[in-house]
Structure 1
Amino acid sequence: MSDSETSHNERFEHEGSRILRGRLAPARAGMWLLAKSLGRLVRIGRLTVFDPLGETWRFGPGGEPAVSVRLTDRALPAQLLANPSLALGEAYMDGTLRIEAGTLRDLLSICMTDMDTIDALPGRRLNRCLDAFRNRRLHHNPISRSHANVAHHYDISTELYDLFLDADRQYSCAYFPTGTETLDEAQTLKKRHIAAKLLLRPGLEVLDIGSGWGGLAVELARQHGARVTGLSLSTEQITAARDRAAQSGLSGRVTFEQRDYREERGQYDRVVSVGMFEHVGRSGFDAFFGTLQRVLKPDGVGLLHAIGTKAPKGGSDPWVRKYIFPGGYLPTLSETIAAAERSGMWVTDVEVLRLHYAETLRHWSERFAAERETARTLYDERFCRMWEFYLAVCEMAFRNGRLMVFQIQLAKRHDTVPLTRDYIAEAEAGQIAKNISSDRTGRTP
C-alpha cells in the first residue's frame, strides 16, 4: 500500500470516528459518507472529486477513464447519498457538479459499472421502497395523463430531434448486426427486421401504435404494399407524419390519427408498436394487450418492440421520470409476456437485443454534441445539459446496467406464423435483393 493510500485510509478512519462522536459538521459528514460509498462503487479508472470544502478525494484503481469533478454546493454530497440518480442529474444540469477533466460519458461509465453496488446504496434502496408504495400513481396512465406525458417529451421542437436522429427520424433502438453500421444503416435494418417478422404482403391492413414521425408506416406502405394507420398522441408528430405521407405520394395508403390506442375500433391484419409500450404504465398492460387482441383479425400477427429490464421488478429512474419521460415504466420480459398471455394470445417469437440501444445512444450523443450550439439557440444551456445527461445515462444503463430491448411477436392462432425462424432471414434477404434490383432499374419498388 502506498503512502498516499495509507493516508487516505487513515483520514477515513479518523473522520468516521468523529462522525460517530457527533463532532463532524454536517457538510463534512455528508462528504465523508459519500466518499465511503464511492470507495466501494468505483471499480475502473480514476475518479477525482474536489469537494465543496476544498478537500480532494481520489477513487479507483487508476488508468482510463480518468475523470475529475468539482462539487460546488455543500448540500450536494448528502443529496447524492439520499437520491443518487436524481441528485446527480440535477447537479449536472445546474452546474453544481462540474466536470474538469474527462467527459460526462466517462463519469457515468465509472459510476455505473457495478449496478449491484449502486442498488445497495441506502438512498437507492429507500427510493425503490417509496416507488413501490407509490407505484400505481407513478405509472398509472389514463388517456388524459397519457396526452400530457406525450406532450412533455414529443411536442418540443422537431428541429431538436433533427439534430441527432437519423434522416428518417427513427427515435428507437436501431439494429446493428455487425456493430459497424452507420446510424442510418442500422435504422434501415431495424425497419427491415420488423417488417420481416410481420410477414407482410401487399394489401394487408396494418396498425402502427405509437407511429412517431411516420417513418416506419411509410416504409411498410412503400416497400411492402401495406395500408397503414398510424396512431400518436403528439401533435407535432402527427403534423410531421401527415406531411411526410403527402410528400411521399402515399396519402392514399398511409393515414395518421391523433388517437389513443385504447380508442381504436378498427380491425387489422397486422399490429406493430415500436418504442411506445414504455409509456403504457404497469397498470395499463392488460388494456394494451387486450386492445391488440381485439383489433387483430383471427389470422393476424402483432409485434411489440420495447425497452425492458432484467431487474427483478420493472420501474423507472427518478431523474428520467421527472425530466424526460413522466409516467414511463420499463417492464421485465416476464411480466410483459404474462400480460400478453392473459389476453389469450400466443407468444410466437421473442428476441432480446442487448447492446443495440447502447450503440444507438452513442451515435445520438455524438451527433448531439456536434450540434450542441444549435440546440442552445433553440433552448438554453440548462436544457442542453439535461439532454446530454439523458442520452449519456441511458447509454450506460444499456451498456453496463440491466436494460435491453425485446421484440415479442404475437398471434391469435399458434399456426399463423411458420414453424421455424428461417422466414425472418429469408424476408430480409429478399428485401435486400429487391432494393438492389430497384437501384439497377432506377425504379422504386
Structure 2
Amino acid sequence: MSEHDLRDVDHEICAARWPDVAQIPGGPSAAIRGAAAAALFRRAAHRVPVRVELPDGSLLGARTGAVAPRMIIRRPDAFARRVGTDGLIGFGEAYMAGDWTTDDLVGVLTPFAERMGDLVPRPLQRLRPLVLPGQRDDEENTVGNTRSNIARHYDLSNELFSTFLDETMTYSSALFADDPGPSTHFTWNDLAAAQHRKIDRLLDAAGVTEDTRLLEIGTGWGELCLRAAQRGAVVHSITLSSEQRDLAMRRIADAGLAGRVTVELCDYRNVDGCYDAVVSVEMIEAVGRRFWPAYFATIDRVLAPGGRAAIQAITMPHDRLLASEGTRTWVHKYIFPGGQLTSLPGLEQVTREHTSLRIDDVTPLGVHYAETLRLWRERFAAHTDRVLALGFDRTFLRMWELYLAYSEAGFRSGYLDVAQLRLGR
C-alpha cells in the first residue's frame, strides 16, 4: 500500500467535480427515505456474515460474535439518506465520501452480492422503478451517444490504466493455467501469460489462422490484434476510443505488423466488409440491451459463409437482468455510462430471433475474472501515488477502488460470470 492509503477516509471532496458526493441529500423527503433505508439496511445486515460497526459501539450482523469482515459506518445519517434517496448509487457515493469504510472491501461486498436477489423484500422490489433513478436518455448507446460514453471511461488516460494492467494492456478477464481457488492463487507474474491464453483460446474458437480475414469489435489497446497478426491473419479492428486507438496503433507499428492490421474509429453498426471470423472481447457490455439485435445482426451480416464468431461476455442471472432493467446504477453514473450486462438466456434469444447465428459452445470463466480483478485491485492500491500524480484526486481513488472491489465481489459470489461464446450458423 502506498503512503496514500485508500482507507484514509477523511479527505477534501471537490464539490465542483463530485457534487453528489460532497452534498448529503437534505429535506423532509430525504429524511423519510433515510429512515426507511436504515430499517431495510438493519434487516439486511442481520442476514449476511458481516460485522457492521456503528459510531455508538453497537453492532449489527448475523454473526457479530464471529470473525467477519468489518463494515464501519462512520456517519449513519448521511449513509442512510444517500441510500434512501439513490439506492446503490447512494451506497457507492457514501463510500466515496467516507460515510462508511472497511479494511476488507471485497470481504464486505461479497456476502451482499451473494444475496442480491433477496436483500430487499420482494413486495418492495416492485417499487424499484418508482423510487430509484432511471437510466438517462443521454447515456443510452445510440450512434450519437456511444462515443462520448466510451470516452468517459476508456479515454480517462492510458497512463491510468497502465498503473494496474500488465504489459499486455489487456482489460478483460484472463484465463489462468488452472482454476483459481482457496488453495490456488496466482501472482502478478502469471497475468500476462493468462491474458495470452485467453486471447489464443478465442482466436482458436473463431478459427483464426494464416490469411484469415478477421474483424475485431472493440480494439482495447491492441493485444488481440497483435496475437492474430502474428498468426498471419489480416485484421480490421474497430473502436470508439481515441486514446486506445492511438496506443494500439503505436504498439502494432512497433511490432512491425502495421501491414496486417488496421484500426479504425468506427461504430460497430457502420462496419462494412466480409470476414472469415469475428471476435469481440467484453465489448457487448457497452452495447445496451436495446441494441443487442443490431450488434449480432452486424456480426451476421459481415461473417462469410462458413465463418465463426467468438465473443467474451460478462453475464448475470436473467431474472436480475429483468428486475434491474431501466434502473440507473452507481456503475452507470461513475464508471460505464450506458452499460448493460448480458445473460445467457438473453443472448440465446436475441441471436435466435434476429440472426442466423447460434451459440454452439459456452465456456464460463467467472473464477478467473475474480482472480484477474484481485491482481488489478492490488496493483492499483500499490500505485495510488502515480494515479494522484496524473491529476486524479482521492475521491477518484476511492471510486476506482470500489469499482474494482465491487466487480471482484460479483464474480467471487457467483452473482456475475463471464463466458467465451462461439457462434456459427
The reply to whether TM is greater than 0.5 is yes
Quote the residue 2:355 is aligned against: 343
Shift of 1:55: 5.8
Quote the residue 1:324 is aligned against: 335
Distance in 1 (CA, whole Å) between partners of 2:208 and 2:35 is 63
Q: In 2 relative to 1, CA 138–311 (structure 1 residues): closer, same or farther, beyond 3 Å?
A: farther
Quote the residue 2:267 is aligned against: 260
Deviations 1:197-239 (A, max 9, x none): 12222111100000111110111111x1101111000000010
Quote the residue 2:395 is aligned against: 382
Question: What amino acid maps onto 2:47 in structure 1?
Answer: L
Shift of 1:333: 0.7
Question: What amino acid maps onto 1:208 in structure 2?
Answer: E
Once the two structures are superposed, the pairs formed by residues 164-183 of structure 1 within 5 Å of their partners are: 164-178=164-178, 179=180, 180-181=185-186, 182-183=190-191
Quote the residue 2:107 is aligned against: 106
Deviations 1:402-442 (A, max 9, x none): 21112221123xxxxxxxxxxxxxxxxxxxxxxxxxxxxxx
Shift of 1:173: 1.0
Quote the residue 2:27 is aligned against: none
Q: In 2 relative to 1, CA 40–84 (structure 1 residues): closer, same or farther, beyond 3 Å?
A: farther
Q: Per the alignment, in what secondary structure is the counterpart of residue 196 of structure 1?
A: helix
Once the two structures are superposed, the pairs formed by residues 344-363 of structure 1 within 5 Å of their partners are: 344-363=356-375
Distance in 2 (CA, whole Å) between partners of 1:306 and 1:38 is 30
Larger of the two Rg values belongs to structure: 1
Distance in 2 (CA, whole Å) between partners of 1:309 and 1:35 is 24
Distance in 2 (CA, whole Å) between partners of 1:27 and 1:406 is 39
Q: In 2 relative to 1, CA 186–121 (structure 1 residues): closer, same or farther, beyond 3 Å?
A: farther
In the alignment, structure 1 residue 230 sits paired with structure 2 residue 231: no
Q: Which moved more, 1:383-392 or 1:303-312?
A: 303-312
Once the two structures are superposed, the pairs formed by residues 271-290 of structure 1 within 5 Å of their partners are: 271-290=278-297
Quote the residue 1:419 is aligned against: none
Distance in 2 (CA, whole Å) between partners of 1:324 and 1:123 is 27
Shift of 1:27: 9.8
Question: What amino acid maps onto 2:82 in structure 1?
Answer: Q
Quote the residue 1:60 is aligned against: 62
Distance in 2 (CA, whole Å) between partners of 1:403 and 1:256 is 31
Distance in 2 (CA, whole Å) between partners of 1:236 and 1:230 is 14
Once the two structures are superposed, the pairs formed by residues 83-232 of structure 1 within 5 Å of their partners are: 83-99=86-102, 102-120=103-121, 125-127=126-128, 137=137, 140-178=140-178, 179=180, 180-181=185-186, 182-222=190-230, 224-232=231-239
Structure 1 gap ranges (5+): 1-24, 413-445
Deviations 1:261-313 (A, max 9, x none): 11111111110010100111111011111111111111211111111112315
Q: Per the alignment, in what secondary structure is the counterpart of residue 303 of structure 1?
A: strand
Quote the residue 1:77 is aligned against: 80
Q: In 2 relative to 1, CA 194–339 (structure 1 residues): closer, same or farther, beyond 3 Å?
A: same
- What is the percentage of aligned positions where both structures have the same residue? 36
Question: What amino acid maps onto 1:36 in structure 2?
Answer: R
The answer (yes or no) to whether the contact 1:41–1:111 under 8 Å persists in 2 is no
Q: In 2 relative to 1, CA 389–136 (structure 1 residues): closer, same or farther, beyond 3 Å?
A: closer
Distance in 1 (CA, whole Å) between partners of 2:60 and 2:356 is 56
Distance in 2 (CA, whole Å) between partners of 1:174 and 1:303 is 15
Quote the residue 1:391 is aligned against: 404
Quote the residue 2:12 is aligned against: none
Quote the residue 1:47 is aligned against: 52
Q: How many positions carry a matched residue from both structures?
A: 380
Deviations 1:17-41 (A, max 9, x none): xxxxxxxx96995585145323433
Distance in 1 (CA, whole Å) between partners of 2:77 and 2:134 is 30
